[in-house]
Amino acid sequence: MQAGRSVEELIGAMLTELSDIIAVEKPDLVLVHGDTMTTFIGAYAAFLKQVPIGHVEAGLRTYNKYSLFPEEMNRQMVSQMASYHFAPTERNKEHLLKENINENTIYVVGNTVIDALLEIASKPKLLNSELHSIFSNSLKTILLTTHRRENLGELQNIYEAVNQLVEDHPDIQVIFPVHKNPKVREKVLSSYQNTERVHLIEPLDYETFVHVMKHCYLVITDSGGIQEEAPSLGKPVLFARDTTERPEGVEAGTLKLVGTSAQMIYDECSKLIREPSEYQKMKEIRNPFGEGDTSKKIVEIIKLIFHDKVYKEHLLGHMNVR
């Protein structure tokens, strides 16, 4: 990353450098994860070298090419290049089957993000003095994160809802790691001028963020990954986007899609604050995105794939000799 670098320039640099690495290392398989630009370019670099690709977190879809943008098209294009598809859920598998992906190449394994989350959450972590001070009172803490580019014009609605929640509920506070995007920061600072019980902090490293999630009461977010992570820690999620590529969470009840309507965010959050039974219901639902053993499953599948491949090559070689 460089300041002021365009997406096009970044793509060119990634394709060149990843292609060079593949040429030197000559891998038997390239694994790409998720739906970022790096995911797509990593897969494309491998495809140009005719190296098999394994896509981890395959089959997530909104079927709206501009939501998420550009992630939705990244993952669709990777699916067309990949040889092996490691899908988090049965629904993801169904998406791939509808796109004529060979069923024998699709493996439903859960999501590796849950592996990382549970491993980190299981280890003790001392929070810094600022975070320790925030969590030392008896207030219910709402964790707020916003960063999606498609929400930039609607962020004011989210912040308006949070301001009203803090004003109307004296037993809550908000901890808000503010994204580095200058456009996001500008809107945050204009919305929170000395607002009581809204703690604006710098972005957190992943380990610390996981432990902040452990300590919070519920989460309001527009982040993709947090939809999967927070429910594994028993935290209800209010999702501030109009679409989700993870509808399994909505169907299971770990996640509520509230969009960017200030009123809806306010109403749904108030319900979880005021009604312990509603909160407990969401808190106790099993996370549909995995049990924390996804990485092990993927490793075992790759071992089997390559064992079979080597065996077939040996058999063909033996047959050719004869």
Place of tokens 């992630």: 71
Residue 322: HSE in the Cβ half-sphere, 13 Å Cα cutoff: 6
Whether 258 and 265 have beta carbons less than 8 Å apart is answered as yes
CA neighbor of 35 nearest in space, from 90, 91, 92: 92
Active site residues: 35, 57, 71, 147, 149, 179
Q: Residue 13, exposed/middle/buried by CB under 10 A (0-12, 13-18, 19+)?
A: middle
Distance, CA of 274 to CA of 179 (rounded, Å): 29
Whether 239 and 257 have beta carbons less than 8 Å apart is answered as yes
Secondary structure (3-state) at 54: strand
Place of tokens 């079979």: 308
| N-term to C-term CA, the chain | 55
H or E element in which residue 84 lies: strand 84-87
CA neighbor of 60 nearest in space, from 26, 25, 33, 21: 33
Phi, psi of 169, rounded to the nearest 5 degrees: -125, 95
The alpha-helical segments, DSSP class H, found in 192-246 are 206-215, 224-232
